[in-house]
Structure 1
Amino acid sequence: MRRNPIAVNWRPFLRPRTAPRVSRPHVRTESSQASRVDRITAKLPRRLQKYTNGLRNAPVSHIVSFLILHELTAIVPVLGLFGLFHYTNYVPVTYMMGHFGSYVQDGVSRFEKYFKRKGWFGFGQEDSETMTATNSRSTSEEAMERWHSGDGRYKVVVEIALAYAITKALLPLRIAWSVWATPWFAGVLIRAKGIFTRKP
């Protein structure tokens, strides 16, 4: 018995239908938050990383709470220390350069470029246009010289660079405190969410 040639020719094109893909954005969000936690905790000394291992399997509320606390422990000290240095005569440049010089240099380079680009604290557009590709050491040394000469613009740069350096040096303590406070802060966030989502 001869086969029907049409049936034979169409057989390769008959494939089972695949189920449509279902996007799960919350899964990607959770994994990105977890990877961000890993990047933050990887900066800790190895002996302290064992205290942060529990965050990898923690509920989403705990991960979000940890990330918020970590940001707060960066922003609040920088602003507080900058205010202390700016409104008092206490500016520990010598000590910080001797113990955390690389952090100070990084801060000076970072904030000088940022203020020039934004035109803040007396920096103008011409400062941004004349920026050259110098390394952070020469930039920080020039900034220190201008600070010593009484340049008000570099007074702000050096003060906020010192605040940034101290905050960066305190990273292990900041992470440890954030981990310790995470369960409590997660409870606060859940209660606050319940208050704002409660129907009248």
Structure 2
Amino acid sequence: MHRSTLRASRPQIVPRAERKWLSTSRPEPAQKPKLGGQAAARNRFDRLIDRSPRFLRPTLTSLKKAPLSNITAFFILHEITAIVPLFGLASAFHYFRWLPPWFAEGVWVSEGVEKFGRYARRKGWISEKDEQHVEQETNQGHVNLLENGQTSGWFNRDEDTTRWIVEFATAYAVVKALLPIRIVVSVWASPWFARWVVIPVSTRVRAAVRSSSP
């Protein structure tokens, strides 16, 4: 009786071959299925709704049940309404050598200066010292002095590039402030843009792919 109790309490040793079989027979954790094109687009649209201001969510939600072509049209228009004003305003600021003070002294300008300054330094257009200089002057509210090249310690060699950084940063602030209008316009124009641009282009692309495939 005592021996049988001791044998029952001892841990059982599983043979090596059986351990190997047990380890290989365990089911692997299931991988998340990859989202298709439509599911990925709608998932991205849901994230955009969550990040948008609360008063704009009903407007965006009204587009959620629309066809995929309308959602695609919305994303294209959303990018167009950002890129075109960004380059247009920056060019106008550079040509007229003027910046709107109510935008040029905000937090978004500092964010834009860091973004475009980092990009210009990576491209080799300005030095790291120039990047730090323009960020410091922007944080101190000297954006208009930067635009006119009137700050101390200014590097004339990169003056034109740093002007472009400040001008793009100010245009970036304006575009961000216009986000509600951009979203409303993009939602309103999505059905028309999908009907006349997205659907015809996608149809021609599919036809070209089918004709080129053996």
Tell me what 1:155 maps to: 163
How many residues are aligned here?
A: 168
Q: Secondary structure at the match of 1:38?
A: helix
Q: Does residue 1:59 correspond to 2:81, yes or no?
A: no
Tell me what 1:170 maps to: 178
The C-alpha deviation readout for 1:41-92, integer Å capped at 9, x for no partner, is 3343322211111232221111111111111111111011111111113321
Q: Is the 8 A contact 1:78 1:160 kept in 2?
A: yes
Tell me what 1:68 maps to: 76
Q: Kindly name which structure, 1 or 2, has the bigger radius of gyration based on alpha carbons.
A: 2
Which shifted more, 48-57 or 107-116?
Answer: 48-57
State the identity %.
36
Q: Does residue 1:36 correspond to 2:44, yes or no?
A: yes
When the two chains are superposed, the root-mean-square deviation of aligned CA atoms in Å is 3.0
Name the aligned partner's letter for residue 103 of structure 2. Answer: M
Q: Is the 8 A contact 1:86 1:159 kept in 2?
A: yes
Cα separation, partners in 2 of 1:115 and 1:58, compared to 1, 3 Å? same
Shift of 1:102: 1.0
Tell me what 2:199 maps to: 190
Shift of 1:141: 3.1
The C-alpha deviation readout for 1:159-180, integer Å capped at 9, x for no partner, is 1101111001111110111000
Cα separation, partners in 2 of 1:181 and 1:55, compared to 1, 3 Å? same
Q: Does residue 1:113 correspond to 2:118, yes or no?
A: yes
Shift of 1:146: 4.2
Name the aligned partner's letter for residue 29 of structure 1. Answer: G
Q: Does residue 1:96 correspond to 2:103, yes or no?
A: yes
Shift of 1:113: 0.8
Q: Distance in 1 between matches of 2:174 and 2:138?
A: 16
Q: Is the 8 A contact 1:30 1:60 kept in 2?
A: yes
Q: 1:79 aligns with which of 78, 87, 91?
A: 87
User: Which ranges in structure 2 are unaligned for 5 or more consecutive residues?
Assistant: 1-32, 151-158
Shift of 1:117: 0.6
User: Which ranges in structure 1 are unaligned for 5 or more consecutive residues?
Assistant: 1-23
User: What is the TM-score when the length of structure 1 is the normalising length?
Assistant: 0.70
Q: Is the 8 A contact 1:82 1:160 kept in 2?
A: yes
The C-alpha deviation readout for 1:122-161, integer Å capped at 9, x for no partner, is x2xxx248967x9x97463377354443532221111110
Shift of 1:110: 0.6
Name the aligned partner's letter for residue 122 of structure 2. Answer: R
Q: Is the 8 A contact 2:137 2:146 kept in 1?
A: no
Q: Secondary structure at the match of 1:61?
A: helix
Q: Distance in 2 between matches of 1:105 and 1:159?
A: 12
Name the aligned partner's letter for residue 96 of structure 1. Answer: F
